[in-house]
Amino acid sequence: MPRLSATCQDRSIASEWFEDISQACLITADSLNAVSTTQAPSMTSSNPTAPSTASSDAAPTHPAIIGYLFWIIGFTGAHRFYFGKPLTGILWFFTGGLLLIGWIVDLFLIPAMADQANRRYRHGRVDHTVTWCLHLFLGLFGVHRIYMGKIITGVLYMFTGALLGLGYAYDTCTLNEQVEEVNGRYR
């Protein structure tokens, strides 16, 4: 009987951890939305020929702090996938972050990778960070796809374990572009 109580305790600890991670993702998304709505008036210009300052004033699409959180498991390449670098993400995954040396070097490269991703990807209806958090923790159940509005494939992922993991791998390599595509539809 003591074994049963330990298992129940492990489940409650795991559920608390999952709730904390989910809450952190939601807080990040809420704070990003709040920043972008409070800065919205400053992004408009009375001069229609003036260059747009939306990309420099807007909240980041890929905050460096989330990159650092993904870096913790970065020997799997998670932070590189998050910042839109799937080829080196795959390399990090199969080599353990290039035998952990590249993983340590990336600790110092994350701010530059975040800036590059923020210039490359735009804000839209679907938030990049929320999508990545959902994919990382619930991707095998298709929750990130449902969040993006891809209901049919989300339900398909739910019943097939993300098509036996192949869909999860595909989404890991292409998630930023998928979010961009969805956000482009709603502009």
Q: What is the mean pLDDT of residues 133-149?
A: 96
Number of domains in the chain: 1
Domain for residue 86, yes or no?
yes
Domain for residue 108, yes or no?
yes
Residue 38 has pLDDT above 70, yes or no: no
Which of 117, 128, 113, 119 has its CA nearest to residue 179? 128
In the block, tokens 């209806």 appear at 125
Give residue 57's pLDDT: 54
Q: What is the mean pLDDT of residues 67-80?
A: 92
Domain for residue 87, yes or no?
yes
- Residues 28 and 63 sit within 8 Å (Cβ to Cβ): yes
Domain for residue 74, yes or no?
yes
Domain for residue 82, yes or no?
yes
Residue with the larger pLDDT of the pair 109 and 9: 109
In the block, tokens 């747009």 appear at 52
Give residue 30's pLDDT: 52
Domain for residue 1, yes or no?
no
In a 3-state reduction of DSSP, which class is residue 37?
A: helix
